[in-house]
Structure 1
């Protein structure tokens, strides 16, 4: 991402918050909503990340996959979703984007997951910004 103010804030917080002794990285994946302290920003995250991706890529699954690959995403093997990719927001902060395209019965659905240990490296505001930056990069691609 371009070095805009949001990216500068995220990088500064990441460097300043990173513990001296690295904790074990959690294997548990969580939605933003599940993090303690995320409450005030859940609506912001949902509107500016999940819903933006759902609306923009509904009916355009192949384009979403192409844009994710252009950002360096690895395709995950997950039969529960039409597309599941893993990206690296920062070292120690992988992000999984799961997407089901719209069909006759359901609208498009997107979920963005973080490892539970992400909260040890970024506060909830910065973690929310990583999701909205990802959405912004995909929408501009």
Structure 2
């Protein structure tokens, strides 16, 4: 990692989407980014970085999910279920936490995470669920609606988040408010009011203690539709914010299908 860092500008400009050059170097080392993703790295420096073709991003996700699984299995299931809004059940000497993510039902057992009674092999689902379970957030919702940029170390991700999430919803349902309402209902959303003045507000529970508020302004004669996504400020107590950003983007992919 240090050798990679030496080839970087060391300005922490954030244009690569990572807050610091050191963090960027670590992601390159772990095959999560390529050194040429830094706009200021000279070509000869990029080509001189040792390549490890046998290591992929999927390999790293699987490694992280395996590490988190070990921690989640050690968690007091009853205590965790109470803290995160899951349903605890002990039957035939088997403890289980049942909870939903993106409107899908999952079971956390001592053997790992299961979906439809089958062990879950999706690394990102496991990462998010294991992190959520092991943290045992146990913090009441504050009622304060915040954007992703409210949380620490997210400033460099905000523009990319707007493109991949908010603008995508706005473009999909531009001049189609009825379609937005139908899709919201299909995904278990509940129409909401309050914190924002918008043409339509809908709440979705990404996880039992992590609500997402979709605020939508319909198109008019001057402007196209627009959308803002809000989270409760308590979210960082329940899940790593990087995982949360991915979860929101995953929700949007399902929402606009």
State the match for 1:98 in structure 2.
215
Q: Distance in 2 between matches of 1:9 and 1:66?
A: 31
State the match for 1:111 in structure 2.
228
| TM-score under structure 1 length normalisation | 0.87
1:125 is paired with a residue whose SS is helix
State the match for 1:39 in structure 2.
155
State the match for 1:88 in structure 2.
205
State the match for 2:168 in structure 1.
52
Structure 1 position 125, deviation (Å): 1.0
State the match for 1:26 in structure 2.
142
State the match for 1:136 in structure 2.
253
State the match for 2:193 in structure 1.
77
Structure 1 position 133, deviation (Å): 1.4
Could you say if the C-alpha distance between residues 46 and 6 of structure 1 is closer, same or farther in structure 2, counting changes exceeding 3 Å?
A: farther
- Tell me which of 52, 60, 64 is aligned to 2:180: 64
Structure 1 position 119, deviation (Å): 0.7
What is the aligned length?
Answer: 138
Consecutive unaligned residues in structure 2, runs of 5 or more: 1-101, 105-119
Larger Rg: 2
Q: Distance in 2 between matches of 1:5 and 1:101?
A: 36
Report the structure, 1 or 2, having the larger helix content: 1
* Residues 44-97 of structure 1: per-residue CA shift (max 9 Å, x gap): 321111011111111111111100111111111358212100110101111110
Consecutive unaligned residues in structure 1, runs of 5 or more: none
State the match for 1:13 in structure 2.
131
Q: Distance in 2 between matches of 1:5 and 1:64?
A: 30
Could you say if the C-alpha distance between residues 44 and 12 of structure 1 is closer, same or farther in structure 2, counting changes exceeding 3 Å?
A: farther
